[in-house]
Structure 1
Amino acid sequence: MKRVLIIAYYWPPNAGVGVYRWLKFVKYLPQFGWQPVVYTPANPELQALDEALMKDVPPEAEVIKGPITEPYAWYKRFTGRKADERLQTAFLKEDGSGSTWKENIANWLRSNFFIPDARIWWVKPSVKRLQLYLEQHPVDVIVTTGSPHSLHMIGRALKQRTGIPWVADFRDPWTNIDYYDQLKFTRWADAKQRRLEREVLTEADRVITVSWRWAEDLESLGAKHVEVITNGYDPEDLPRPPEPVDECWSLVHVGSITATRDVPELWKALAERVRDDAEFRARFVLRFVGGVDHGVIRSLESAGLMGHVERIGQVSHTAAIRHMQRARVLLLPVNDTPNVMGFLPAKVFEYLGVQRPILAVAPLGADIGKVLGDGHWLVQRGEMGPIHTTVQQLFDRDRTAATPAKRFERRELTGTLARLLDRIVAKDVTVMHRA
């Protein structure tokens, strides 16, 4: 069995959104002749805990853990936070408070002295540890997955020292990430970020990303061999039998909804339907499962919808899927940011897997339109007429969505990854066809 070293910051029981992509690849890689060796921090900053995720780690997988030093303990002390407080998703503010002067200073220091990110202190000890490991336990390919993009620094150094082929997986953009301009980089720090990004893109044997438009963006930055392997859904994660659909007409968003995902036009359309339609008013529930930015709450209050809002908060992965199955319609507002055309949130594939209708708010021509099949709706921001019409159609034509494409199942996607790894070992540099 061939061996692949996967360097990943997010790993169970950490339940952040970044864990699922490579956890599922690791789950299925042995079925395609690859033994995964995972290197991950022993003591990472946790977003959430979900011990149930450990069941997806196959017996063939080897997991190596190395201690990591992160600046978050200092950050919490400096900003007056509790030591056990979990930091929120980037630019998600649930409490409505503005940033304090201490937070502004800490964030400026993080942006300009921890480059490319706060995990930079993990690079040198990891390279040393893994170089010793590889001398005794060779692998055929090295994979790094970012963000955090510091991990690509580990892969780059290991390739330089060992000659082992290296794949850089971009789950998220680097300098094209939607909040990059909010990080307050100095000119020097911005130049260093862009130089490191360019070195990774040009020196990796392959670059993988999750959407077609982001692949084009990476190529424009210098990458030469970019493959697209999207995220997906695992049929084994879907509760059987499925949860019964809500009696009420529930519009459900699962996951964090940040300020860039606010859709005031939709809230206004829903509020007008509540005002004008007694049946809709009696049955309508807008449910948020996960964090909700305070700016979104203010927008909902302004529209007069808070009487119809349910907030569930953070739940386990299994519970999140149960909420998806119960929904009459699943809400998917795509970030209103410059990289929106390639933004494919990981949850869209689980939305597809539960076969409930999806209401996506995104530009026409965005990559998300490529994955939505029959029984789903896409509307653009600012177009009140189509939004009104779509809300009416969704309420009047309650139905199950079409069966999702098999190519988005996690096992199928892992097969694509395994074939890519096989080609790398065979020194085949052709790029797979992008569907």
Structure 2
Amino acid sequence: MKKVLIISYFSLPFDVIASYRTNAYLKHFRSFGFYPTVLTHYMGMEEQNGVSVEKDETGTVIRVPIRKSKLRALLRKAETMPILNKVSILTRWILGFLDSRPEMIDSYYSLKAYCFSELDVTKFDMVIGIYSPHHHLRLCYKLHRKFEIPYVLDFRDLWDNRILHAKYSPSAVEKIQDKLTLRWWSKWLHKASFFTTTSDPWRSKLELITDTKGEVVTNGFDEECFTNKEFRRSDLFTIIHAGALYEDLELVIFLKGCKEFLRAFPDAKFKIKFLGADKNSGPGGKRVGFLSNPVERILKYIPQDYVEITTRVPKSRVVDEMYDAQIVLFLSHPQINGWYSGKVFDYLGARKTILMVPDDHSVVGDLILKTNAGVIANTAEEVCSYLKKSYLEWQKQGEIPYHGKEEEIIRYSRRKQVEKIAGLLNRL
């Protein structure tokens, strides 16, 4: 069985979407002929002074503490002096420390020290570095240079989704950051066996800076999260939106449609739940920043009695809430080409009808059509019309029929995505 080292900053029990991609590799690689070892930190758990090694039937997890360096203290001091701090950040970018925060630099050096002095890297057949952060790409490149070990770079995102925004007009600082990032990514990609990323438009973007071949391995849903779940009838017609809201989403289209629906059905047993939407951060108008003042902006259109808006909740609760819902809401990023957003895959896994607002004319719209897992509404009138139809259907039958194509949906399970990358690794 081939051995693969997976370098990932994020891993369970840290409950973020990045951890679930890492966990999928750990959980499923053995089924396809690879023994996985994840090299990570103590994210989401109590930090330990030393290295810990966890083994089970799926593979091995090695956790390395992030050692605080003297450099971190100096950089923190520099942060109190605006001009010096700007010069310091630019210097770090030029030197390839694109994750310029001091603790991220310490993360890099902690992992590098472990790989070069304690871990027998030569026992592995290949290395996978998962972005973000940037320094995993750098470390894979360094390991290849020293040990001649093949490596693959796995990009969950681009360095900033703003670069694919239809109206992207970079500031002077963003131009510098983009140029330096392209320079370093091109170098770190140059010796990679191949790279993977989560959508075809993003693959095409990266292939502009490298001759290394790219492949698409999307995110997916964990089948185990959606097994042994039974349909539960509810006395509320519920719509769920899972996760953060962003400034560039067409939220108002949906809210206006709901407002019109409630005018038509003033006594409706109706609830919209925005789970994890209350970030209370991000300046208003920022293209891909979190929606500012989400509670106030939502309540401008929908009375409080019909809305629930929460701060971040565990994924287990989100899954349970989806099973009680009739519709799951996907607000698209129509100005950003190729952005799936991880929630759409959990929506597929839940086998709940997806209401997409509006069509992104990109990857998610194509996904909805291919899987027949939902409907697309481009205007408030279309939202209202669909809600009226669905509500009457729910009143009559107690549920909304689901028409998703199972043979297409299952292709987006985490297991299927790991099978795909395993097939690519077997070609090396």
**TM-score, normalised via structure 1 length:** 0.78
Tell me if the contact between 1:166 and 1:204 (Cα under 8 Å) persists in the aligned partners: yes
Structure-2 change in CA distance of 1:300 and 1:226 (3 Å): same
1:173-232, Cα deviation, whole Å (9 max, x unpaired): 125456998998375544322211222333321110111221112122335311111111
Gaps of at least 5 residues in structure 1 are 50-55, 79-100, 425-435
Tell me if the contact between 1:15 and 1:47 (Cα under 8 Å) persists in the aligned partners: no
Corresponding position of 2:7? 7
Displacement after TM superposition at 1:345 (Å): 1.3
Distance 2:171 2:144 in 1: 30
| 1:116 to 2:98 alignment | yes
Distance 2:55 2:234 in 1: 33
1:204 alignment partner, SS class: coil
Corresponding position of 1:157? 142
Displacement after TM superposition at 1:160 (Å): 1.4
Q: Identify the match of residue 197 of structure 1 among 165, 185, 198.
A: 185
1:14-55, Cα deviation, whole Å (9 max, x unpaired): 11221001201210111111110111023x4x5999xxxxxx
Deviates further, 369-378 or 19-28: 369-378
Structure-2 change in CA distance of 1:48 and 1:208 (3 Å): farther
**TM-score, normalised via structure 2 length:** 0.79
Q: Identify the match of residue 277 of structure 2 among 291, 311, 327.
A: 291
1:96-148, Cα deviation, whole Å (9 max, x unpaired): xxxxx98x999968964463113233223422321345546511110000111
Structure-2 change in CA distance of 1:184 and 1:295 (3 Å): farther
Tell me if the contact between 1:16 and 1:48 (Cα under 8 Å) persists in the aligned partners: no
Corresponding position of 1:20? 20
Tell me if the contact between 1:26 and 1:57 (Cα under 8 Å) persists in the aligned partners: no
| 1:14 partner letter | F
Tell me if the contact between 2:332 and 2:360 (Cα under 8 Å) persists in the aligned partners: no
Displacement after TM superposition at 1:262 (Å): 5.2
Distance 2:189 2:389 in 1: 45
Tell me if the contact between 1:207 and 1:223 (Cα under 8 Å) persists in the aligned partners: no
Tell me if the contact between 2:232 and 2:324 (Cα under 8 Å) persists in the aligned partners: yes
Gaps of at least 5 residues in structure 2 are 48-53, 279-290, 394-399
Q: Identify the match of residue 304 of structure 2 among 300, 303, 306.
A: 306
Distance 1:319 1:111 in 2: 39
Corresponding position of 1:127? 112
Tell me if the contact between 1:16 and 1:47 (Cα under 8 Å) persists in the aligned partners: no
Structure-2 change in CA distance of 1:418 and 1:366 (3 Å): same
Displacement after TM superposition at 1:362 (Å): 4.2
Distance 1:10 1:164 in 2: 23
Tell me if the contact between 1:140 and 1:164 (Cα under 8 Å) persists in the aligned partners: yes
Displacement after TM superposition at 1:401 (Å): 3.9
Q: Identify the match of residue 166 of structure 1 among 145, 151, 156.
A: 151
The number of residues matched between the two structures is 386
Q: Identify the match of residue 238 of structure 1 among 210, 220, 226.
A: 226
Q: Identify the match of residue 64 of structure 2 among 49, 63, 66.
A: 66
Displacement after TM superposition at 1:364 (Å): 4.4
| 1:35 to 2:21 alignment | no
Displacement after TM superposition at 1:166 (Å): 0.8
Tell me if the contact between 2:41 and 2:66 (Cα under 8 Å) persists in the aligned partners: yes
Structure-2 change in CA distance of 1:234 and 1:3 (3 Å): same
1:55-95, Cα deviation, whole Å (9 max, x unpaired): x9842412222222589x98xx99xxxxxxxxxxxxxxxxx
Q: Identify the match of residue 148 of structure 1 among 117, 121, 133.
A: 133
Distance 1:238 1:271 in 2: 32
Q: Identify the match of residue 402 of structure 2 among 395, 400, 403.
A: 400
Please give the residue correspondences for 1:339-418 in structure 2 after superposition, counting only pairs within 5 Å: 340-372=336-368, 373-380=371-378, 383-397=379-393, 398-404=400-406, 405-418=409-422
1:245-273, Cα deviation, whole Å (9 max, x unpaired): 43211111112223333511110111121
Structure-2 change in CA distance of 1:315 and 1:182 (3 Å): farther
1:294-323, Cα deviation, whole Å (9 max, x unpaired): 433232132244331112433322222111
Structure-2 change in CA distance of 1:418 and 1:107 (3 Å): farther
Q: Identify the match of residue 422 of structure 1 among 403, 423, 426.
A: 426
Distance 2:388 2:208 in 1: 42
Tell me if the contact between 1:26 and 1:58 (Cα under 8 Å) persists in the aligned partners: no
Distance 1:105 1:59 in 2: 52
Displacement after TM superposition at 1:171 (Å): 0.3
| 1:169 partner letter | D
Structure-2 change in CA distance of 1:259 and 1:34 (3 Å): same
Distance 1:239 1:271 in 2: 35
Distance 1:230 1:186 in 2: 27
Tell me if the contact between 1:355 and 1:400 (Cα under 8 Å) persists in the aligned partners: yes
Q: Percent identity?
A: 23
Please give the residue correspondences for 1:204-223 in structure 2 after superposition, counting only pairs within 5 Å: 204-223=192-211
2:153 alignment partner, SS class: strand
Distance 2:116 2:248 in 1: 41
Tell me if the contact between 2:248 and 2:333 (Cα under 8 Å) persists in the aligned partners: yes
| 1:325 to 2:323 alignment | yes
Distance 2:110 2:411 in 1: 39
Tell me if the contact between 2:130 and 2:154 (Cα under 8 Å) persists in the aligned partners: yes
1:147-169, Cα deviation, whole Å (9 max, x unpaired): 11221111111111111111000
